Each structure stands twice: as C-alpha cells, then as structure tokens.
Structure 1
Amino acid sequence: MPPRLAPLEPPYDPALAAELSAMMPPGHEPLRLFRTLAHNPRVLGKIRAGNLLDRGSLERRDRELVILRTCARAGCEYEWGVHAAFFAARVGIGDAELRATAQGRWDDPAFDARARALVRLADELHDGAAPSDACFAELAAHFEPAQWVELLALAGFYRLIAYVANGLRVELEPFAARFPDPAPPA
C-alpha cells in the first residue's frame, strides 16, 4: 500500500535540517519515519524529546527486546525492521531470538528467563494494557523498580511509534529487515 503521507525531501528548512540531523548518527540520512513526522515539526520535536534510546537504566539488549516485541505485536514492520537490522545483532540478539520476537510466544525456548519476562511484559501490555501479577513477579526477579517504570514507558513509546508508522503507512526502509514468514501474531 502506498504511504498516506510522503516523507519530506531535501532541501529542508535550516531548523528542520538541524532537528533531523540530531536524530541520526553522523553520516546517516534521516529515516522515512522522521521525514514523515517532519510535516508537523512540533510532534517531531516531542517524539525526539520522548525517545528512550539514551543510556537509561536498561541494558541495550533488554531495551531492544521490548521494542522488537512491542512493534511486532502491533504489526509495525517498519519499526521492527529498523531495529532488527540496525540494533539486534549489535546488542546480542541472535537469529532464533529475533525470529521469536516476531513469531514466537513469550515462553518460546529461544528466550532465556530474563528475555521471557520482557517479552511477556510486551505481550500483556499489548493484550490488555496492564501486566498481570505473575508477569510483574517475573520482572521483579530481574529488574529494579526504576527499570519497571522505564520498561512500561518504553513499551508505550513504541506503541505510539507503531500507531504513527502504521497509520501513515510509512514505507519500509531499504536496509530494514522484514517480518519473517508467517506474519507475527496479532
């Protein structure tokens, strides 16, 4: 399906060019998602300010597992694919585990106990907007209270990204991974 809103193309207004540049590693072009969000610079700025990809209290691998599973469950191939291609291997997520973020259950044997707790959290948030007591007990075995807050905010943030990317039908990045067949569970 074609995008509902085409990403902006250069040349950009100088203020927008600076904003887009700040969102990317040096030498990388702005993602289609960011260039699409740039139709509303206020929203782009708020999303940039709200992202949780900085050095928070979570290990990068834990953060990526939550992002990948949240995006997969939301059917957001765009964001799942960007994170699968750019971050997964860098943070130690192997092929079986990556596939399981898109296709498996939270108790998939590809996940260790810590990863299962994270994937279960993403699943329960997707299914009912709140984790069960059993899920929280698993989280408590691996994470501190400050991390619980960050995990919940992280899943919510990437649900927002999924709404935007899916709602505007942002075209997949050429470098991004694609969902493995069959498609992830709804």
Structure 2
Amino acid sequence: MSTFPAAPRIAPVEAPYDASIAEAFARVMPPGREPLKLFRTMARNPRVLQRIFAGSLLDRGTISLRERELVILRTCARCGSEYEWGVHVAFFAQRAGLSKEQVAATLPAANNRDAWTGGDALLIQLVDQLHDSACISDALWEQLADTFTPEQLLELVALTGAYHTISYMTNAFRVALEPDAARFSAA
C-alpha cells in the first residue's frame, strides 16, 4: 500500500486559477472547498483535466451509489491508491451505506471476501478478476448477468477501468494525501 513520503512528482497548480480551470473545479467541488490535490495536479495539463472530468462516472448512472463506491474502493485499494481510496471513504462511504467494517474489507490485506454477500460479493470478485487478469471468467460472468443488466455491467467495467487510471495518476505523480481523507492504516 502506498503512502508517499517523497515530494509530489508534479506540483499541483496554486490559486489564482485560469478561468476555465476555476470553472471546472467549481463544477466538481462542493462550495467553499479547495480543489483536491489530484485535480490541481491534473490542471497542469488542462486538456487532461477536462477529459477526465468529462469522462467521470460519478453522476447518477445505472448502478446505485453503494455499488459505485464499493467498486471504486476495491479498485483503488487493489491498486494501492491510498489517496483516492481515502477521498472516496471520506466523501462517499457513509452516504453509500458502507459500514466501517465493510470499508476495511475493501482492502486486500483484510482478505475478507466473507464480509460480502450477494451482489456486493459479485462486485468484489468483478474488481479482483479485472485487476488480476483484465478479464472476467465465464462462471463469474454468468452470476453477474443474473444480477446486473447489460447496461450496469458496461458501467461497472468502465468504472473499474476509470479508477485504475485515477490510481495510476495518484501513485505515479505521488499526489500528497488530503488531510481529511481516510488512511489505509486507520481502516
């Protein structure tokens, strides 16, 4: 799991922001909240920032908030992205109805697949298989197809891939942890 003692590899931009960057931040951040360090880092390349924001799957989609956050947490945990995992725990876990024990069980070190049942267990398996093999076995696919619609399955796989990309960015750039985000060690 990754906590980076070294300085970030790409320094986040500082205010005042260009107008287009400030507008992009205003669309995704709660009023009065400073933009996240990841967003400020991506703002070094406004095209990347805008394209990542345009491809966001954090809006209301075909899956529930709980399903979305479970997939994001497990993906980020498997990728060792303490930054993104911690931000999502802080911002969304409670609203998604995930208990502290369930949040902790998203960490691979917990090795706690028994914490999950039904659709939740299938989502953990989906993320794990995609992470391990970039594919889904026929046996798991049959179970997923019995539980989720084709539209939901498309969203779940896209979401997993999107958060691999976000995890790559947080880890490769060594984005400093947000002060109010959760930590792997506290789970």
Instruction: Name the TM-score class by shorter chain.
Output: over 0.9
Measured in 2, the distance between the counterparts of 1:25 and 1:142 equals: 34
Give the RMSD, CA atoms, in angstroms.
1.4
The one-letter code of the counterpart of 1:138 is Q
Matched residue, 1:117: 122
Measured in 2, the distance between the counterparts of 1:70 and 1:13 equals: 32
Match of 2:94 among 70, 89, 93: 89
1:15 aligns with 2:20: yes
Deviations 1:77-117 (A, max 9, x none): 00000001111111100011110101334x62221211110
Match of 2:132 among 110, 127, 133: 127
Measured in 1, the distance between the counterparts of 2:165 and 2:71 equals: 14
Deviations 1:128-166 (A, max 9, x none): 000111221221232111000000000000000001111
Matched residue, 2:67: 62
Measured in 2, the distance between the counterparts of 1:175 and 1:133 equals: 41
User: Tell me, which stretches of 5 or more residues in structure 1 are unaligned?
Assistant: none
- Residue 154 of structure 1 aligns to a residue whose secondary structure is helix
The one-letter code of the counterpart of 2:34 is E
Measured in 2, the distance between the counterparts of 1:180 and 1:123 equals: 21
CA apart distance, 1:35: 0.2
CA apart distance, 1:181: 6.8
CA apart distance, 1:6: 1.1
1:161 aligns with 2:174: no
Measured in 1, the distance between the counterparts of 2:185 and 2:139 equals: 30
The one-letter code of the counterpart of 2:92 is F
Match of 2:185 among 174, 180, 184: 180
1:24 touches 1:30 (CA, 8 Å); kept in 2?
yes
Aligned length: 181
Match of 1:40 among 45, 53, 63: 45
The one-letter code of the counterpart of 1:148 is L
1:80 aligns with 2:92: no
Measured in 2, the distance between the counterparts of 1:81 and 1:138 equals: 30
1:62 touches 1:115 (CA, 8 Å); kept in 2?
yes
Matched residue, 1:104: 110
1:99 touches 1:180 (CA, 8 Å); kept in 2?
no
Percent identity reads 53
TM-score, length of structure 1 as denominator length: 0.93
The one-letter code of the counterpart of 2:87 is V
TM-score, length of structure 2 as denominator length: 0.93
Which runs of structure 1 show a deviation greater than 4 angstroms over 4 or more consecutive aligned residues? none
